[in-house]
Amino acid sequence: MEDGVTATQVVFWILAVVMLVSAIGVVTAGNIVYAALFFIASLGGVAGIYLILTVEFIALVQLLIYGSAVVILILFALMLTRARERPQALFGRSRPLGIAAALGLLAALIGGIVATTWTTPESSAAFEPVGLQTIGDAIFTLWIVPFIIVGVLLSIALDGAIMLASPDEDDN
Amino acid sequence: MPPLEHILVVNAVLFAIGVMGVLTRRNAVLILLSVELMLNAVSLNMVAFAVYGHVDFGNITGIVFAFFIIVIAAAEVALALGIVVRTFRNRATANVDEVNLLKW
């Protein structure tokens, strides 16, 4: 924006740098557990950006579901699948190719973003925060059927995960 | 508020980092972490569009989508980790390039 850098933008960039640096840590860390810890920091950055965008509800959901449940699941999976005997390579043979593909994708995305004209609300006064009540109204009226379907799907998926991970008595 | 372009560029970088993780890592759990990074970038994008378009268009579908994405991601993580644990029990490895039963 032309009217100088606001405090919100400074906080946004701090959070963005934290998020991106920890994301790089997730994909480059030499230790699996460090990668998971970097992932938590990255999720915190994303939640902070949700707060800057004034959607407290999504920030809360992010912290509750991702920051606690998903991270605990992942740490348990890391603990259960730890191969202790041999030190193993964390990266595949095609690593340079993967990095090149990611950079190519990044260039294409940023090229597309720069080439498009975006409209931003001019000032914070014109900007209207999305309240919790608006989101609740939308979810429980317009989106109630997808909401119920997602609930059923979540129950089925969690039951399936328990079935998958539990040892079977008849096979072994 | 930060301009929309800045948020989009940050999310594009986050998405590309996730792609890099998926393409370079061997461990299935770390690949899953990278997929989560990509999902985060996409839902952040949706929220940004919804919040900036709220004034002009008056709907918040993007925010509801971000909420659904987070819930589906939780289900996906649970299922994928169940599969990884089961694979580890059968093959004693969590590396995706060593699980080659379907390869001849």
Q: pLDDT tens digits, residue range B67-96? A: 999 999 999 999 998 888 888 888 877 788
CB B34 within 8 A of CB B18: yes
Q: What's the ipTM?
A: 0.88
CB B96 within 8 A of CB A91: no
Q: In whole angstroms, what is the distance from residue A114 CA to residue B94 CA?
A: 40
A32 touches B at CB < 8 Å = yes
Locate the DSSP E strands across chain B. none
Instruction: Pick the residue of B33, B57, B69, B84 with the most A CBs within 10 A to test the interface with A by mutation.
Output: B33
- A93 band by pLDDT with thresholds 50, 70 and 90: confident
CB A169 within 8 A of CB A93: no
B82 touches A at CB < 8 Å = yes
A70 touches B at CB < 8 Å = yes
For residue range B1-51, what is the model confidence (pLDDT) as tens digits?
A: 788 888 999 999 999 999 999 999 888 888 999 999 999 999 999 998 888
In a domain, B97, yes or no: no
In a domain, B96, yes or no: no
In a domain, B69, yes or no: yes
For residue range A55-71, what is the model confidence (pLDDT) as tens digits?
A: 888 999 999 988 888 88
- Amino acid at residue number A163: M
- Amino acid at residue number B77: V
In a domain, B103, yes or no: no
CB B94 within 8 A of CB B88: yes
Q: Provide the shortest C-alpha distance from residue A147 to chain B (in Å).
A: 8
- The domain total for chain B is 1
In a domain, B8, yes or no: yes
In a domain, B56, yes or no: yes
Q: Measured between CB atoms, which of B22, B47, B84 is closest to A81?
A: B84
For residue range A5-17, what is the model confidence (pLDDT) as tens digits?
A: 788 889 999 999 9
In a domain, B73, yes or no: yes
In a domain, B51, yes or no: yes
pLDDT at B100 exceeding the cut of 90: no
Name the fold adopted by A1-84: Four Helix Bundle (Hemerythrin (Met), subunit A) (1.20.120)
Q: In whole angstroms, what is the distance from residue A72 CA to residue B86 CA?
A: 18
Q: In A53-78, which positions are buried (b, 16+ CB within 10 angstroms) versus exposed (e)?
A: bbbbbbbebbbebbbeebbebbbebb
Please choose, from the candidates A76, A148, A62, A168, the residue with its C-alpha nearest in 3D space to the C-alpha of residue B78: A76
Q: Mean pLDDT over all residues of chain A?
A: 84
In chain A, where are the structural domains located? 1-84, 130-172
Q: In whole angstroms, what is the distance from residue B11 CA to residue A80 CA?
A: 32
3-state secondary structure of B50: helix
Q: In whole angstroms, what is the distance from residue A102 CA to residue A99 CA?
A: 5
Per-residue confidence (pLDDT) for residue B55, from 0 to 100: 65
For B79, the domain range is 4-91
pLDDT at A83 exceeding the cut of 60: no
pLDDT at A158 exceeding the cut of 80: yes
Domain with residue B79: its CATH number is: 1.10.287.3510
What is this structure's pTM?
0.88
A75 touches B at CB < 8 Å = no
**Using a CB-CB distance cutoff of 8 angstroms, which residues of chain B are in contact with residue A98?**
20, 22-24
pLDDT at A86 exceeding the cut of 60: no
Q: Provide the shortest C-alpha distance from residue B99 to chain A (in Å).
A: 13
